[in-house]
A and B are shown apart, each in its own frame.
Chain A
Amino acid sequence: GQQVMQIPQYQHVQEGEDFTTYCNSSTTLSNIQWYKQRPGGHPVFLIQLVKSGEVKKQKRLTFQFGEAKKNSSLHITATQTTDVGTYFCAGSLSGSARQLTFGSGTQLTVLP
């Protein structure tokens, strides 16, 4: 079945440092979404990427979708303590057999 892998599993950074999480799919995706889950909370939608090579920015967050639509990344510039949480990518397959498959997430800790 479809697999979505995320690395790293954990990342500790000093406040102000940058952070990147990577997402790789075993199959071509029709789109990819990113979610953030705060400790004890539920996933909250951040963004959706649809086009090959697409890049989107939200303030300090930059999202990329690979040319082959099999990988994606989320980069946070100058992390803040409010960025703490687990970041998940979630992809849906091209074609008829589509379901949203989540990666295992990257847990970000920001040290003040």
Chain B
Amino acid sequence: ETGVTQSPTHLIKTRGQQVTLRCSSQSGHNTVSWYQQALGQGPQFIFQYYREEENGRGNFPPRFSGLQFPNYSSELNVNALELDDSALYLCASSLGFGSLGETQYFGPGTRLLVL
């Protein structure tokens, strides 16, 4: 059984740039959620994808967008980066049939620094 993987592990961007983060879900999991974790804070829900469609969204602006592919892998795209976007971005997969609140299996995260 393969766990959740994310790439890249670290990334440095400048304000105004765009970034794409990638996630491969755990084997057999059909749902992917993305979280933003600022230093010293708990993960904040960005959105969830199930069957290639957005299945729920937290309080994040439209410049945060995502995709899910037929193999259940996913991308998080952030446009017009701001300094406050610097954080650890966590991907989590679950076998929840698109139901929010299911047990989340987290990947190692991508640490994004915006200068």
Binding site for B on A (CB under 8 A): 1, 4, 6, 30-31, 33, 35, 41-45, 48, 88, 90, 92-93, 98-105
Top 5 A-B pairs, shortest CB-CB distance? A92-B101, A102-B42, A98-B100, A42-B106, A102-B43
Interface size on B, residues (CB 8 A): 23
Most A CB within 10 A of own CB, among B43, B58, B90, B109: B43
Interface of B is mostly: loop
Q: How far is the CB of B101 from chain A (nearest CB, A)?
A: 3
* Whole-angstrom CA separation of A51 from B100 in the bound complex: 17
Binding site for A on B (CB under 8 A): 33, 35, 40-45, 48, 56, 58-59, 90, 99-101, 103-109
CB < 8 Å neighbour of A88 from B43, B103, B108: B43
Identify the closest chain B residue to A104 (Cβ).
Answer: B42
- Enumerate 30 A-B pairs (CB-CB under 8 Å) in ascending A order: A4-B42, A6-B42, A33-B101, A35-B104, A35-B106, A42-B107, A42-B108, A42-B109, A43-B43, A43-B104, A45-B104, A48-B103, A88-B42, A90-B43, A90-B104, A92-B100, A92-B101, A93-B101, A98-B99, A98-B100, A99-B56, A100-B33, A100-B45, A100-B100, A100-B104, A102-B42, A102-B44, A104-B40, A104-B41, A105-B41
